[in-house]
Every structure is written in C-alpha cells, then in structure tokens.
Amino acid sequence: MQNHTAVKNNEQHSEENSYSCQICDFSGLIDADLLEHMETHTKTEAHSCDICGSCFNETDTLIQHMQTHSKEKPYSCEVCGSCFNETDTLIQHMQTHNKEKPYSCEVCGSCFNETDTLLQHMQTHSKEKPYSCEVCAYSFSHKTTLVTHMRTHTGEKPYSCPLCDSSFSVTATLVNHMRTHTGEKPYSCKICGISFSQKITLVGHIRTHTGEKAYSCKVCDASFSWRHTLVSHMRIHTGEKYQCKVCGVFISRKSNLTSHMRTHSREKPFRCDVCGSAFGQKCNLVTHMRTHTGEKPYSCQVCGFCFSHKPSLVTHMRTHTGEKPHSCEVCGCSFSQKYTLVKHMRTHTGEKPHSCQVCGASFGVKETLTSHMRTHTGERPFSCEVCGSSFSQKAHLRVHLRKHN
C-alpha cells in the first residue's frame, strides 16, 4: 500500500518527470525505479539461502551468493585464466591487465581502478581513522587493517602453507613465504641485476646504490636506510632491551633475541640444499651459499678486491685507511680487527683455549694448533714450485724460497 501511495503521489507531479520517495531523498525517472527503491525500506527479502539462511530481495543476488558455498567460479579471465564467481569482480580484475585506472585522487593525483580503493586512499589525506581496536584502542583508516590487527590479539593465522606447517595472519606474508619453496625472485634491481623475493627488500637494496637514508633519528643526527635499523637505534636512547630468559643477557632487537635463543636450543632451521650444512641464522646461510656459487658481491672501490660478505670488505678497507679501531686496554696496542685484539689479549692473560687432543699441548691461537697438529699427522701442505720440496708451515716455505732467489 505504501508503494502504491508513493507512485500515485508522484503521478500528480508528472510534469516534472520525476518519481520521489516520501521516506528519503531518492528520486527516479520512471516508476519502476521508485518501486525497486522502496524495497530497501520495506526490507522484502523473499529469497533465502537453503545452506546458511541468508535472505535476499533479488534472485540474481541469491544465485551469486550460492556460488560462495559451491566454490563455483563461472567467470574466467581471457588473459590469465583467473576465475571469479561474479561478473563485477571479473571486470575489476580485467583492469589489472589493461592498466585502466579511471578513479583519480583530487589531492595527489593517484589513480585507482576501484572507487572503494580511492575512498580508502582519501582517508590517508584526511587523517581520518574511523576503525578502532576494542582491545588496545589503536585506530585505523581501513577496516581490513583493523581485521588484520585483531589477529595480533587473537593469535589467529588463517592462511596456511600447503607445502609445510607454517601459518600466517596475512595473505601477503603467505605469498612471500611461498617463494622460499619456489625460489621465485620477481623483483630485480635495474642497476646491478640482483633479484629479490620481496619488493621491500629491493627498495632497501636500491638505497645501497643511491645512498639514500630516509629514516632519521629525532634525538641525534643519525640516519638509516631501513626503518627497523632506526627502531633498533632508538633503543640506544631509550635503553629498551629484550632479555634472554636462559642466560639473562640483554639484546636490543627482538629478531636478534630469536637468533640468540638458538645458541641455547642448538636449533639450526636454515639448511643448505647443496651440501646439507645447517645454520641458526638465515644471513649465515646466505653467506655460506656463496662458497658454492663463488659470488662476491662486495668490491673494494680502491683496489677492486671482491669479497663474499660485507664484514670482510669493511676489514679490508682498513688496509687502505690505516684505521685500527680495536685497542688493548693493557698496553695500548691497536688493531684493525677485533679478532686480532682477542688473540693479543691472551699474551697478557696467558689463556690458551686451543688444546691438542694427541699430546695435550695448549695454544692461544687456533692457527698455531693447526700447525702443531701437522707434527703428528706429517702433513706438508706448502710446496716449493721450483724444486718440489714440501713443508708443514708456510713460514718454513718462505725461508726455503730465499735459497732460490
């Protein structure tokens, strides 16, 4: 009856060629528009789902909904073969191929292929954060971000890896994880050609070429290429640290604490596919792999010498600069390497931690023990290229070569 009254009322104003709703501000050009609109007020939902009981006022909407239960995806992309259960979703997907982005931001000019994405983007300009966490009161500009955040409280990890037992709270993290199985590295540096599995790693790598340090400390003048490095640096000012529950040592980064804990558990989750060697830290595996590939990505800009890992380059550079940052507190001697200082300190303490398992002799330096072991094994690895004589120590070979010179 209400629908009939609304239409009849608008017939009295037919000269305006408009059909207006008496409940809200809606107006349509034909009576069918108004009749369809009135259903939003009357909530007539004559079509119900037999599986979950959801109700809909149109058969088309019910049919689309049923596909969420059947997993049927009848609409496929002709370009990449992806399938969808709605034509609207297929249309949106097609825009990722044709690069069409018809919706632009009036503030910064960024373009998007969906109105919803544009609306979400606009909130970054307005600083509006309408979605708040009921647990910790954090606020977010996007509802999806809030949903993801809530998993930090619930511990929910709905996205599982089909190849191992790992689970993740975010799909993007699962996608990145899958690349550890496939070896895929889709992000390549245009300068040096190195490829990476994650875009954020490529962004950070580019800064090694540009020298950009986008993250600055507000307390001192230090700047960093990575945000997590700045976060770690800030703990120098705040004094915040993570404590190991086993030995009590304090560590400034949570990731370093995780690695440290493996020194207690002896866990070595990172394994080499070539020789089977296992490591407690991923960075050590990466460095180890270079012994197989021969890769030496760190080169000296002075003499061109190349190294497989960065600390070796840093130490090498001191041969050019003469820098000796490691000083002995007993006698004042300075050294370019920390390890050399450690060995030197044993001349003061008398410590000899390296023992021969054959005769019991002890040495302050591991290299001296290695040379000593040859007196037992008879090994002579250093050979003269002139006469073929062999020696157990390199120093003896040097003395011998003077006879030929």
DSSP string, 58-112: SHHHHHHHHHHHH----EE-TTT--EESSHHHHHHHHHHHH----EE-TTT--EE
- What's the CA gap between 378 and 216, in Å, rounded? 58
Question: What pLDDT score was predicted for residue 164?
Answer: 83
Coil, helix or strand at residue 215 = strand
% of the chain beyond a pLDDT of 70: 84
Helices (H) and strands (E) in the chain, counts: 15, 28
Q: What is the mean pLDDT of residues 125-146?
A: 80
- Decide: pTM greater than 0.75: no
Q: Over 60: is that where the pLDDT of 4 sits?
A: no
40-50 confidence digits (pLDDT tens):
665 545 677 77
Question: What pLDDT score was predicted for residue 142?
Answer: 77
Question: What pLDDT score was predicted for residue 29?
Answer: 61
Q: What is the mean pLDDT of residues 229-237?
A: 81
Residue 391's DSSP bridge partners are 382
Q: Tell me the pLDDT band of 11, cut-offs 50, 70 and 90.
A: very low
Q: Over 70: is that where the pLDDT of 267 sits?
A: yes
- What's the CA gap between 58 and 42, in Å, rounded? 14
Q: Over 60: is that where the pLDDT of 24 sits?
A: yes
Q: 138 φ, ψ to 5°?
A: -65, 145
Which pair of structure tokens corresponds to residue 161? 């890896």
More confident residue, 76 or 328: 328
Q: Tell me the pLDDT band of 10, cut-offs 50, 70 and 90.
A: very low
Q: What is the mean pLDDT of residues 120-131?
A: 75
Question: What pLDDT score was predicted for residue 8?
Answer: 40
Q: What is the mean pLDDT of residues 231-259?
A: 81
Question: What pLDDT score was predicted for residue 96?
Answer: 67
- What's the CA gap between 127 and 315, in Å, rounded? 47
CA dihedral 270, 276, 277, 279 (to 10 degrees): 10
Which pair of structure tokens corresponds to residue 49? 């789902």
Find where tokens 């009939």 sit: 4
Q: Over 70: is that where the pLDDT of 220 sits?
A: yes
Coil, helix or strand at residue 132 = strand
Find where tokens 């962004």 sit: 203
User: Alpha helices of 239-363 — where are they, by DSSP H?
Assistant: 254-265, 282-293, 310-321, 338-349
Question: What pLDDT score was predicted for residue 129?
Answer: 79
Q: Over 60: is that where the pLDDT of 360 sits?
A: yes
% of the chain beyond a pLDDT of 90: 12
49-63 confidence digits (pLDDT tens):
777 666 776 777 777
Q: Over 90: is that where the pLDDT of 359 sits?
A: yes
Q: Over 70: is that where the pLDDT of 381 sits?
A: yes
Q: What is the mean pLDDT of residues 298-319?
A: 89
Which range of 159-168, 203-212, 365-374 scores highest in mean pLDDT? It is: 365-374
Q: Over 50: is that where the pLDDT of 69 sits?
A: yes
Which pair of structure tokens corresponds to residue 328? 């002995």
Q: What is the mean pLDDT of residues 318-339?
A: 90
Q: What is the mean pLDDT of residues 121-128?
A: 73
Question: What pLDDT score was predicted for residue 357?
Answer: 92
Closest CA to 1 of 11, 19, 9: 9
Q: Over 60: is that where the pLDDT of 15 sits?
A: no
Q: What is the mean pLDDT of residues 144-151?
A: 86
Q: Tell me the pLDDT band of 389, cut-offs 50, 70 and 90.
A: very high
- What's the CA gap between 198 and 180, in Å, rounded? 11
What angle separates helix 2-11 from helix 31-42, to the nearest 10 degrees? Answer: 150
Question: What pLDDT score was predicted for residue 42?
Answer: 58
Domain boundaries, the chain: 1-32
Question: What pLDDT score was predicted for residue 90?
Answer: 75
